[in-house]
Structure 1
Amino acid sequence: MFQKLLRLVLYACAGLCLFWLGGLVAYRWIDPPATPLMGLRALEGESIRYRPVALSRIAQPLQLAVVAAEDARFCLHSGIDLGAVREAIEDYQESGRLRGASTITMQLARNLFLWPGGGFLRKGLELPLALAIDALWPKRRILELYLNIAEWGPGVFGAEAAARLHFDRAAADLAPNQAARLAVVLPSPLRWSPSRPSEYIQRRAATIQGRSSQLAFEQTGCFN
């Protein structure tokens, strides 16, 4: 009985590894038909809105705003921001609270291949997947896919679906302040709304707009 259970676990692990390997190869060029989070939202009864588009059809202000808000060192690290990880570990040792140190690449790995929620197991799987993605894909593709599968509301995935729902326009036509508001709500898209922003969201969006302008001046063109 134990050997049969062990064999099933090994088969499941092997299947999961094959799924990850296949995804790492295929998603370099093609968009995923769905993600685990989309499946979860569908089970919760949400209608899924998902319209992947090329990065060239996503307004540059949104590209810059998301990088400024989520991962300002995106062009400089190799999938993991080791400085941010060290700071998060030190904070955990001091306070007992595990704060985020996720890069855009780590978030993409989680959204594509893993499950929502926290925990050391998922975080431990994110790290090698993020390193593999950064090694195999150009930064432009990483950002493109992240912007196309990020959640921006209940059942709303990707910049195109979000722009049309919240601002009734294509992602290519987003104004800088609209882009900043979309970037600001990414940490909590089910609680915050870019089209009905609170005072906090408006203040935070103004800050992100300023950072985006600086990033546009400083960035190396790694995703342009």
Structure 2
Amino acid sequence: MKKIFRFLFKILIWFILVSTLIVVIYKFIPVPITPLMLIRSFETSETNVPKTWSHEWVDLDTISIAMQKAVICSEDQNFLNHNGFDFKAIEKAISSNQKGKRLRGGSTISQQTAKNVFLWPGRSWFRKGLEVYFTVLIEVIWSKSRILEVYLNSIEMGNNIYGCEAAAQFWFNTSAKKLSNYEAAAIASILPNPRVYKANPASAYIQKRKAWIVKQMNYFGPLRFETHEN
């Protein structure tokens, strides 16, 4: 038993060291690929041809403020203030789910970034535990602006469309830097299910959600990271 425990302890130590190193590396270099991209690439189309993805990394300062604010307002309005977990949102989600109401989970942008960059899709407690672990790591090692930058470059924003640059080109034939408020809100509005919803042309549901996001963006005010990173 002692040998087994020593072996498991060594695995744990190595996991912590390697995972921390990867997070430190990704603090400085673009994330080239995510587990979800790999999983999607093994899927085949109706013609049995392996699917490919569209992904182009861009720095945060070349992503429109509208796009940055749109995802914060639609996904995690307390992003700049929490330390990775919005417990009020989690409590609200649990309460609503217990009442049988349909409500998205209380995952923050930090949690979604951790899940998208380091983990596979799933709902097991083991995967959720790893999500918590990586969320803490990136909150400690990365800045808020870096978390948002990685998020905007990694999240699925269409069927095999990853990151806001690829999404801007696909949905609106423009760059992430030139996205308007309504274009950015349209992309943000499909994030609950980007493989089903379309940013353009938008359905009545997406139009309604887009208008709500733009209204929230106007209420949000200036986007200032330095106040939260010093």
Structures share fold, TM-score greater than 0.5: yes
Identity of aligned residues (%): 37
Task: Give the match for residue 222 of structure 1.
Answer: 225
1:48 Cα deviation from its structure 2 partner: 1.4
**Aligned ranges for residues 195-210 of structure 1 at < 5 Å?**
195-210=200-215
1:159-195 deviations in Å (ceiling 9; x for gaps): 0011001111111011111100000101100000101
Do the aligned residues in 1 keep the contact of 2:20 with 2:137 (CA within 8 Å)?
no
CA separation in 2, counterparts of 1:42 and 1:7? 38
1:108 Cα deviation from its structure 2 partner: 0.3
The alignment yields a C-alpha RMSD, in angstroms, of 2.7
TM-score (norm: length of structure 2): 0.85
Does the alignment pair 1:110 with 2:115?
A: yes
Does the alignment pair 1:57 with 2:62?
A: yes
The AA in structure 2 aligned to 1:143 is: L
Task: Give the match for residue 33 of structure 2.
Answer: 34
**Structure 1 residues 202 and 23, CA gap change in structure 2 (3 angstroms):** same
1:66 Cα deviation from its structure 2 partner: 0.4
When structure 1 is superposed on structure 2, of 80-89 and 177-186 the one drifting more is: 80-89
CA separation in 2, counterparts of 1:173 and 1:222? 21
Q: 1:142 aligns with which of 118, 143, 147?
A: 147
**Aligned ranges for residues 4-83 of structure 1 at < 5 Å?**
16-44=15-43, 45-83=50-88
**Aligned ranges for residues 150-161 of structure 1 at < 5 Å?**
150-161=155-166
Does the alignment pair 1:170 with 2:169?
A: no
For structure 1, list consecutive stretches of 5 or more residues without a partner in the other structure: none
1:86 Cα deviation from its structure 2 partner: 2.6
When structure 1 is superposed on structure 2, of 164-173 and 95-104 the one drifting more is: 95-104
Do the aligned residues in 1 keep the contact of 2:59 with 2:149 (CA within 8 Å)?
yes
CA separation in 2, counterparts of 1:125 and 1:134? 14
How many residues end up aligned between the 2 structures? 221
Task: Give the match for residue 47 of structure 2.
Answer: none
1:126-163 deviations in Å (ceiling 9; x for gaps): 11211221111111000011000010122211000110
Do the aligned residues in 1 keep the contact of 2:116 with 2:155 (CA within 8 Å)?
yes
1:93 Cα deviation from its structure 2 partner: 5.2
For structure 2, list consecutive stretches of 5 or more residues without a partner in the other structure: 44-49
1:7 Cα deviation from its structure 2 partner: 9.6
1:99 Cα deviation from its structure 2 partner: 4.8
CA separation in 2, counterparts of 1:4 and 1:115? 31
Do the aligned residues in 2 keep the contact of 1:28 with 1:141 (CA within 8 Å)?
yes
CA separation in 1, counterparts of 2:116 and 2:127? 11
CA separation in 2, counterparts of 1:95 and 1:197? 28
**Structure 1 residues 91 and 26, CA gap change in structure 2 (3 angstroms):** same
Do the aligned residues in 2 keep the contact of 1:139 with 1:223 (CA within 8 Å)?
no
